[in-house]
Amino acid sequence: MARLSKIWIGTLMFLSLQNLYAQFSVDGQIIQRSEFRNGFNRVIPEGHKPASFIAHRARLQAQYEFENLTLYMSVQDIRTWGSTPQVKASDTYLSLHEAWAETKIGENWKVKLGRQELNYDNFRFLGNLDWALQARSHDFALVKYEKESAKLHFGGGYNQDAQLLSGNLFLTPNQYKTAQMARYENIFGKFEFSALFWNDGRQFVARDQVGNITEERLFHRQTLGVPMLRYKEGNNAFQFYYYHQFGKDPMGKNVNAFNVSLNYSHVLPFDVEKGSALTLLGGAEILSGTDNTHSESNRSYNPLYGTNHLFNGYMDLFYVGGAHENNVGLQDFYFKSRYAFNKKLFVQGDVHGFFSHADVWRQEGTGTERMPSFFGTELDLSVGYVYTSAISLQAGYSQLFHTDTFAYIQGVETPKRTQNWAYLMIIFRPTMKNKFIGILL
- pTM metric for this prediction: 0.91
What are 166-214's pLDDT values in tens digits?
999 999 988 999 999 999 999 999 999 999 999 999 999 999 888 888 9
pLDDT at 11 over 90: no
Domain ranges (residues) in the chain: 26-59+104-162+172-428
pLDDT mean over 234-249: 97
What are 218-232's pLDDT values in tens digits?
999 999 999 999 999
Task: Give burial (CB, 10 Å; 0-12/13-18/19+) of 395.
Answer: middle
What are 39-49's pLDDT values in tens digits?
999 999 999 99
What are 274-317's pLDDT values in tens digits?
999 999 999 999 999 998 886 788 999 999 999 999 999 999 99
User: Helix, strand, or coil here: 125?
Assistant: coil
Tell me the range of 2-16, 89-103, 287-301 where mean pLDDT is highest: 89-103
The pLDDT assigned to 185 comes to: 97
- Give CATH for domain 26-59+104-162+172-428: 2.40.160.100
Beta bridge partners of 72: 63, 100
The pLDDT assigned to 2 comes to: 55
Q: How many percent of the chain have pLDDT more than 70?
A: 95
pLDDT at 341 over 50: yes
Q: What sign for the dihedral angle of Cα 173, 354, 380, 408? A: negative
Amino acid at 238: F
The pLDDT assigned to 292 comes to: 82
pLDDT at 17 over 90: no
Higher pLDDT, 244 or 368: 244
